[in-house]
Structure 1
Amino acid sequence: MRIAYITADHGVPVFGRKGASIHVQEMVHAYVALGHTVTVFTGRKGGSEEGFEADLVKVKPSVPDPDDAIDAQPRAKLIAKETRSIEIGELVENALIEEHSSTPFDFIYERYSLWSAAGVRAAARLGIPCFMEVNAPLLLEQEKYRDLIQTEQAAELEAEVFGKAHAIAAVSEQVRDYAIEKGAAAERCHVVPNGVDTARFHPDVAPVTGLGIPDDAFVVGFVGSLKAWHGLEPLLDGFRELPAEDGYHLLIVGEGPLRTWVEGYVRGARLDGRVTVSGWVDYVDIPSYVRRFDVAAAPYHAIDDFYFSPLKLFEYLAIGRPVVASAIGQLCDVIEHGRTGLLATPDDPADFAAKVAEFHRDVALRERISQAAAIEGARRTWMHNAQKMIELATEHVAAA
C-alpha cells in the first residue's frame, strides 16, 4: 500500500529526539519494513533525514516562526503560533492532494495535532480512508497546562477530526474514552498502545559501563525527560527509603527543566554518591543504559485522568528489566503483578521501596520476571501496531 503519513504539529519535528518524534520515526519504519511505501507530510523536519526510508514533503507556511521573534509580546506570539499551525495543516492538505494526483495513496495516517484537520479533509476530497492516531487529549492539555487563544476554533477542529476519521487509534483506554466523549463513534475507536523496536531493545544489548557507578551496585533506573508529570518526586522519595548499606544506586537517564530540582533534592537528602543523573542521552544509546538497570522504575503520581502510554515501559520490558511501576492507568494493563513486574501504590514511597527491595533480595523472582518481561516486550512492537493499521486499511479499501 501507499501511505500518506501526516505529522503537522510544530512541536513534533520528524527527526526530533523526544518521544513523540521517536513515535513518528518508528511507525514510518514499521510501515516500510512491512513492505509499504510512505510519504511523510510535515511542517517541521528537525534534524538530518539521512537513512530515512520514506519520502518527505515539508510545507513552508507564510507566517514566520514566532520563536524567531525577539521582541514579540506573549499574546501576539501565541496568536502567531496558532495561526501558523493552522496554515501548516492547510498546506499539508493541499500538498497531499497534489502528490496524490501523480501517484495515488491508499490511505492517510495522521498523528493528531491541535490545529490540523488535513487528513480527514484530504480523505473526503480523494475518497480514501483516514486513520487518526491520538496520543493525548491535546485540547484538554493545552487549556490546562499551556495558553490557548483560539479555543473555539481548536474545539471545532477536534470535533471535525474525531467525527470524520474512518478509524481512531488511541494509545490508551482513557484517550479512547476522551475521543468518544468528543464525538467519535465507539465502533471506530481502537486502543493501540505505544510500542518498541525489538531490533534495538532486546535482552542481549551490552550494558553501558562507567558512569561512576560501582560495579557491584544494585541499580534502580529511570528513563525520561525531567518534568513534573514523569514522577520524579515519588521516585526520589522512594529511593531515599532504601538503605545505603545495601548498595542501591539510582541512575536517572534524561534531561529537562527539573534537573536543578533533582540535584537540589539529592544534596538535601544527603544522597550524594548514590544518585547519577546522566543528562541527555542519544536515543540509540538508551538500550545500553536500560540494560545496566537491575530494576527499572516507572513511578507516576496518582491522578484521575492518567491517559499515558509510556514508551519507557515497553522499552524496559523488551530488554527484560524487572519493572516497578505505579498501579495506575495502562500500567496495570501492561504489567501483570508478580509475572511481568511489580505494581506499587502511586505516591507511596514506602511501597515503592518495598517492591524494589523485594527484587533486590529475591534473585529467583528477579530472574523469572526478567524472562517474562522480555517475552511480553517482544509482543508489543511498532510492527504489530503498523500491521493493525494495515488490516484496518485493507478492510476499508475492500468495503469502498
Structure 2
Amino acid sequence: MNVVVRAQAEQLAALGHRVRIITRRTHAAQQAEHEWTPGVVVRHLDAGPARLLAKGEHEALIGSFGAALREQLGEDPADLIHAEHWYSGLAALPAARSLGVPLVQSYHSIAAGDDTPLEAGERPEAPGRLAGERRLAHEADLVVTVSEAEKSTVLQRLGGDPDRVRVVPPGVDTRVFRPCTEGERQDRAARIARGGLPEVLVAGRLHPLKGFDLAIAALAELPDERRPALRIVGDSPPDGDDYASLLHDAVAAAGMLGTTSFDGALRRSELAERLRRAALVLIPSHSETFGLVALEAAASGVPVVARATGGLCEAVDDGATGLLLDGEDPADWAAAIERLLGDPALAERMGREGRRRALERSWRVSTDTLVAVYRELLRR
C-alpha cells in the first residue's frame, strides 16, 4: 500500500496536480507538515498516542482522526479525497459528506471471516473491519481496486455496486527494478562457479498470509547438493512476531541455517539489488489483491513461481513470465523450483518476457488511469 500511495502521489505531482498525504503522527518529533517531493506535502495529524500502533488499535482512533481531518480540509479544501485502507475510509467519510467532497476508497486488502480459509484474504484484526469495509463499498462515491480479482471480492463479499468500482493496476519503477548488467551477470556466474549457491527470494510481511513456511518446506524437499540459498526479505508486523519465530524454527528443523538468510525490511533500492541477483522469486501467498513483488521481479528480469490465487493470476502469466501453482504441496513447489533452476534457457526467456511486459506498466501509465478515474468522478 505504501509503495502504491507514494508512487502515484509523485506521478500526480509530476502531472501538475497538488497532492496532500494526510496521516497520523507516529512520533513526537515528526513535523506537522513537510514537502515530500515538489507538489507532494505530507501532513501529520494528532490522533491517539504519537507512536506506531498495531493494526487493530487504529479502529479506536477513527473518530479522532476523522475530526482532525475534517478541520484540516475545512482550512485547506481538496477537490477529492482518496482513502487508503478501511479505517482511513471510515474516518474520511463524515468529513467528505459534510464538505461535499467526493470520496474514493481503496482497500489494498480485504478482510475474511475467521472461519474462512486463508486464501479468502486478511483476518479481521479489528472487530469493526468487515462491517466497515462493507459500509465503504456502499457509501464511498467510488472504489478503486488494484486488480480484477480484488474487484470481484468487493462485489461479491462486500456487496459493492459494479458501476462504482474501477480497476487501476499498480505500476513498477523499471529504472530501480532492472535486470543485471552483463558485468553483474558475470559476477554471479563466477560466484556460483566458485561454489556459491543460486538464490531463491521471498519478500513481504512475516505473516501467515504470505506463506513463507511453504517456501521453506519446498526447499527442504530438495537434496542438499541441489538446494539453492533462500533469502527472506521482510519484517514482522507491529502486532507480533510469532510467525517469524515459527519460520526460524522451521529453517533450523530443516537443517537450512547455513543456506537461509533473514534480511529484515529493506529500502526499495536494496530490495531491487537483491531481486535482480536472485535466480527466481517465490510468492507462496495464500491471498494477494495483486502481488506487487511479482511485477518488481518481472521488471528485474527474474522468473516467478507463485500460488495461483487472487491478483497473482494477473501479475504472473503462467508459462510466460513464471509458473502458477495450485495447492501447497511442498513437493510440487520443489519440482517447479528445480525445473527453472535446471533450465537456464527457460528461466532466461521468462525473465526477458517479464521485463518486456513490465516496461509497459510504468507508474505513469498507472497514474494516468487513476487520473481518468478521478476526472470521471468529478464530472459526475
TM-score range, shorter chain: 0.7 to 0.9
Residue of structure 2 in register with 1:5 after alignment: none
CA contact (8 A) 1:90 1:116 kept: no
Q: After superposition, where does 1:41-56 map in structure 2 within 5 Å?
A: 41-44=22-25, 51-53=36-38, 54-56=40-42
For 1:30 and 1:286, how far apart are their aligned partners in 2?
21
Deviations 1:273-332 (A, max 9, x none): 22222233233311001111011111134xxxx353222112111111111111222212
Q: Distance in 2 between matches of 1:262 and 1:341?
A: 25
The one of 69, 73, 86 equivalent to 1:92 is 69
Asked whether the 8 Å contact 1:112–1:134 carries over to 2, the reply is yes
Aligned residues: 356
In the alignment, is residue 270 of structure 1 matched against residue 255 of structure 2? yes
Indicate yes or no: 2:369 matched with 1:388.
Answer: yes
Match of 1:168 among 128, 143, 160: 143
TM-score by length of 1: 0.78
Q: Deviations over 1:207-237 (max 9, x none)?
A: 6999xx8664221111122221111111011
Pairwise mapping of residues 334-345 of structure 1 onto structure 2 (< 5 A)? 334-345=315-326
Structure 1 position 239, deviation (Å): 0.7
Match of 1:363 in 2: 344
In structure 1, C-alpha distance between the alignment counterparts of 2:141 and 2:61, rounded to whole Å:
27
Superposition map of 1:263-302 within 5 A: 263-301=248-286
Q: Residue 234 of structure 1 is aligned with which of 214, 220, 232? A: 214
| Counterpart residue number, 2:125 | 146
What's the CA shift for 1:122? 4.0
CA shift for structure 1 position 41: 1.8
Deviation at 1:66, TM superposition (A): 8.8
Is residue 320–residue 374 contact of structure 1 (8 Å, CA) maintained in 2?
A: yes
Moved more, 201-210 or 227-236: 201-210
Q: In 2, distance between residues paired with 1:58 and 1:262?
A: 35
Q: How many percent of aligned residue pairs carry the same amino acid?
A: 25
In the alignment, does 2:124 pair up with 1:177? Answer: no
SS of structure 2 residue aligned to 1:358? helix
For residue 291 of structure 2, the aligned residue among 310, 314, 333 is 310
1:108 aligns with 2:85: no
Are the equivalent residues in 2 in contact too, given 1:114–1:139 (CA < 8 A)?
A: no
- Offset of residue 117 of structure 1: 3.4
* 1:249-264 equivalent positions in 2, closer than 5 A: 249-256=229-236, 257=241, 258-264=243-249
Cα pair 1:207 1:288 within 8 Å, conserved: no
Q: Distance in 2 between matches of 1:155 and 1:344?
A: 29
Residue 137 of structure 1 pairs with residue 110 of structure 2: yes
- In 1, Cα distance between the equivalents of 2:35 and 2:80? 26
AA paired with 2:83? E
- Work out the CA distance in 1 between the residues paired with 2:219 and 2:304: 14
Residue 117 of structure 2 corresponds to which residue in structure 1? Answer: none
Any idea what SS the aligned residue of 2:359 has? helix
Q: 5+ unaligned residues in a row in structure 1: which ranges?
A: 1-19, 69-77
Q: Tell me the residue number matched to 1:40.
A: 21
Match of 1:15 in 2: none
Q: Hey, what does 1:189 align to over in structure 2?
A: 165
Q: What are the equivalent positions in structure 2 for 1:47-86 lying under 5 Å apart?
A: 51-53=36-38, 54-61=40-47, 63-64=48-49, 82-86=59-63
Contiguous gaps of at least 5 residues in structure 2: 115-120
